[in-house]
Amino acid sequence: MKNILFLCALLAASSVHVHAEDGNAGLYQFDTDNQRETYQYLSESLRCPKCQNQNLADSNSEIAITMLDVIAEKVLQGQNEEEIKQLMVSRYGDFVLYDPPKRKETALLWWGPPALFFIVALIFVATLMKRSRRLKQEGDDKQNEEQQETGEK
């Protein structure tokens, strides 16, 4: 039983070692270094739809593995990076891109955070100005009271 567990652990460690050393590119036989580089670039620049902020190369999800298989197949067929990206976007949506295109459907992604920051900054400045006016008014009221008290005496 110990030998079986040891063998399983050794097998698991060796598969992790291949994955970490070469990414998933080690699982595929590419004809040229350019194909390997294209595959590596796409596997690191496309996002896993299941893992949120993890690229395909770092993900172990089934969908990421399927996407990597498709990328390898398309690279071996001679398709370029842009064609493969378009295929992935058509299948999985703009989410697979870390840098989604700027168009009206993605406007909220691009302009939402700056707009929110601007609104919060305006509220902050308005609050400071209101507080400043209130403190000044309280100071003026206090000064008027002191003048009235000294004038009555």
Q: 3 in a domain, yes or no?
A: no
As to burial, measured by CB atoms within 10 angstroms (0-12 exposed, 13-18 middle, 19+ buried), residue 37 is middle
C-alpha to C-alpha distances, 109 to 13, 45, 140, nearest whole angstrom: 40, 19, 47
Same domain, 93 and 37: yes
pLDDT per residue of the chain (153 residues) written in tens, 0 to 9:
555 544 445 444 444 333 433 455 557 888 899 999 999 999 999 999 888 788 999 988 999 999 999 999 999 999 999 999 999 999 988 888 887 777 787 788 778 889 999 999 999 999 999 998 888 888 777 777 777 777 655
Same domain, 96 and 107: no
- The number of folded domains in the chain is 2
Same domain, 85 and 119: no
82: containing domain:
28-101
Same domain, 94 and 125: no
Q: 6 in a domain, yes or no?
A: no
- Residue 90 is part of a domain; what is its CATH number? 1.10.8.640
